[in-house]
Structures are given as structure tokens and as C-alpha cells.
Amino acid sequence: MKIVRPAMALCVALLLAACSASNMGRMEVDDQGQPVTKVYSSNSLLASRLSVEHLQQKTVGNLLYMQATLENGWKFELDFQYKIKWFDKDGFELAPEGQPWRQLVMAGRSQNNVQAVAPNPSAVRFEIWVRE
Amino acid sequence: MVRVLSMMMLGAALLLSGCASHVDYGDAQARETVTTDFGSTDLQMIAAKMVDDMMVFPPVVKMTQNRRPVLFVDRIKNKTTEHIDTESITDTIQSKLINSGKFRFVDMSVVDRVRQQLDYQSQSGMVDPSTAAQMGRQIGAEFMLYGNLSSIVKRAGSTKDVYYKFTLKLLNIQTGIIEWSNEKEIRKTRKKSLFGL
């Protein structure tokens, strides 16, 4: 019985870990173009390993162009997805069904830049969401 | 006896309900990794990358600053061993480019139907001539979008590696010059586990 209980607990823990797929983090750039990093994550494991080092944006033509520098602070490879959401000045999301989750695999203790262009000129701010 | 029968019926009902098929809706933008074959995630990644890159390429930015050039989409050659609907890729790219407000497109796949409609409007006598669309007033495309999709597949034991390369080019029809070109590479690897699970 002493062996069975820890084994059952381990199985439950593994099952729960396998099911925790919908965790997200978020960061924003405000209306004045100032980067405001806000990470909301229900996945403490992902949040502890992945950090947003730098946020940049510029206008190309009349389209907003963003770059986020992500850092994997973990010593192993990190496999996750990210998605950019674009908003107009009234806070309406632009093309909400047109922005796919993009896959990113980062080597251990490395930095990667992710870039994206707004779908149309009405975008004034963006959010980047990440999940496992 | 009655108790045994009812228990058996309950068991059978549970078994049948367990075998019932279940249909549900999923997120169309979520990552799809059912097999290594070309899938929806690949299509979405390619379209996003191509459109993003084209929009910020300096000569294209300059070209679209004060006007909306007219493009037409030629086919994407499928050089892979898979059956892939490459028109679906160009449809997504075309939609994104139109919605950006930077480009306009002519659709060569509906030329015959447009001609029929123009003939109907000008020759049938059914349409008020003052509202009929005039022949010879369409705008000619300035650029052509075309490209290739190729793949390299390798297998070793229980491992399968698929490499896709999508190339898209923007050609100036008048000068024949390729004004922009870009590639998107995708690598997918499948490893079978020890017990094939």
C-alpha cells in the first residue's frame, strides 16, 4: 500500500502535466508606443523559463512593425507557440481569425527575435501571447 | 434474475456509449501535428511569413506608398510528392495582401465568366446601356505572383524527416524583373516511440 499511493500520486501528476496546454503570457505596447510588458501566465513553469527581454516597434510605410526579443532562461530546448494580436485605436482586435499560432523552438539559454507586421494600417498596438 | 438482466443491460449501455463517436469544434489557428504531411499550420506559417516580409521590403513599401498596384496570382508549382492544394496558399496570401489595403488583384480564373457577363450586358438587350459595364475598361495587372513548393523527405529506421521550402516571387510584367522574392523553410520530424504508441 505504501508503494501504491506514491505511484498513484505520480500518475495523477503526470496526467495533470500532460493536460496543462492552454496557458498564456501577454505583453503590450500602449497607445503612446511605450512598451509595457505584462506577463499574465497561469503556467508558472513556462513563465519561469521564458522572458521578454526587449520590445520594439516602428512604422514601415503606414503599417506597424513589431519585434520582440524572447529569452529562454532554461538550459534545455524550449518548444512553444506565440501569437500576435493587433488592435486599433478603439481597442478592437484586427483580423482576430487571421493570426495563427506560430511555432518557435529555442535552444537552451538563447535569445530569439520574433517579428510581425500589422494586417492593415489601422493597428496602433499589439499583444504577444505565448503558450506551450 | 431481474437484477442480473438489469446489470447486463446497464453494462451494455455503458459499453455502447463508450464506443459512440464524438464530434467537436477546434481552434482553426491551433498547431496541427497529426502527421508530417503538409498541413494547416504550414499553410498559415507560410502565408504569414510571405505577407509580412513583402510588406516591409523597402522597394515594395516605396511602390505602395501612394498607389495600390494591381497583381495577379499565377500558380504555385507543387514539386513535392504530396497532393497539396497550392491555390489555397495563394488564396490566403492574396486575402492578406488585399486586406492590407496595399494591393489590388485581378482574378484570371474567372475571365471566361466575366466575359460572358459583359457579353450579356452589351448584347442581350436586357440591360440598360447606361448601367452596362463597358468592354475594354479593365485594368491590366502590373505584377505577377508565382512560386514553388518543394520538399526533401528522409527516413532512417523509425525516424522520418520532412523539409519543405516555399518560394514566392513578385515579377514586374513589363520589365520582367523580379522585384521581390522570399523563402520559408519548414522542418518536421516524426519519431516512432518504442511500442508504436
How long a stretch of residues is chain A?
Answer: 132
Interface size A-B, in CB pairs within 8 Å, comes to 51
Chain A residues inside the 8 Å CB shell of B99: 95, 98, 119-120
Average pLDDT (B87-112) is 94
Q: Say whether B56 and A121 touch across the interface (CB within 8 A).
A: no
Q: What is each CA distance from B144 to A112, B147, B179, in whole angstroms?
A: 33, 10, 10
Q: Tell me the chain B residues in contact with residue A115 when contact means C-beta distances shorter than 8 Å.
A: 52
Q: Does A22 touch chain B (CB under 8 A)?
A: no
Q: Which of B54, B56, B88 best probes binding to A when mutated, by most A CB atoms within 10 angstroms?
A: B56
| Residue in B with minimal Cα distance to A119 | B100
Sign (positive/negative) of CA torsion B118, B123, B127, B132? positive
Q: What mean pLDDT comes out for the span B19-33? A: 82
DSSP collapsed to 3 states, A43-86: CHHHHHHEEEEEEEEEEECCEEEEEEEEEECCCCCEEEEEEEEE
Which is more confident, B45 or B1?
B45
Q: Is the pLDDT of residue B18 over 90?
A: no
Least confident of A43-57, B47-61, B102-116, B167-181: A43-57
Among B48, B51, B43, which Cα is nearest to B180's?
B51
What tens digit of pLDDT does each residue of A56-109 get? 889 998 899 999 888 999 999 998 888 888 989 998 999 888 788 888 899 999
Q: Would you say A101 and A84 are in contact if contact means Cβ atoms under 8 Å apart?
A: no
Minimal CA–CA distance to B102: which of B4, B180, B27?
A: B180
Q: Which residues in A lie closer than 8 A to residue B28 (C-beta atoms)?
A: 97
pLDDT number for residue A6: 47
Q: How big is the CA angle at B80 (ends B164 and B157), to the nearest 5 degrees?
A: 70
Contact A102 B45 (CB under 8 A): yes
The grid coordinates of residue B14 equal 455503458
Q: Are A84 and A128 in contact (CB under 8 A)?
A: yes
Optimal mutation site among A103, A126, A129, A132, interface B, most CBs of chain B within 10 A: A103
Rounded Cα distance, A27 and A55, in Å: 9
Burial of A91 (0-12, 13-18, 19+ CB in 10 A): exposed
pLDDT at B121: 95
Which of A2-16, A109-123, B13-27, B41-55 bottoms out in mean pLDDT, i.e. has the lowest? A2-16
- Is A13 a residue whose pLDDT tops 50? no
CB B179 within 8 A of CB B103: no
Q: What is the pLDDT of residues B119-166, one digit of tens each?
A: 999 999 999 999 999 999 999 999 999 999 999 999 998 899 999 999
Q: Is the pLDDT of residue B185 over 50?
A: yes
Residue A52's pLDDT band (cuts 50, 70, 90): confident
pLDDT of residue B1: 62
What is the per-residue DSSP string for B47-76?
A: HHHHHHHHHH-HHHHHHTSS---EEEEEEE
What was the pLDDT predicted at A97?
82
Is the pLDDT at A31 greater than 60, yes or no? yes
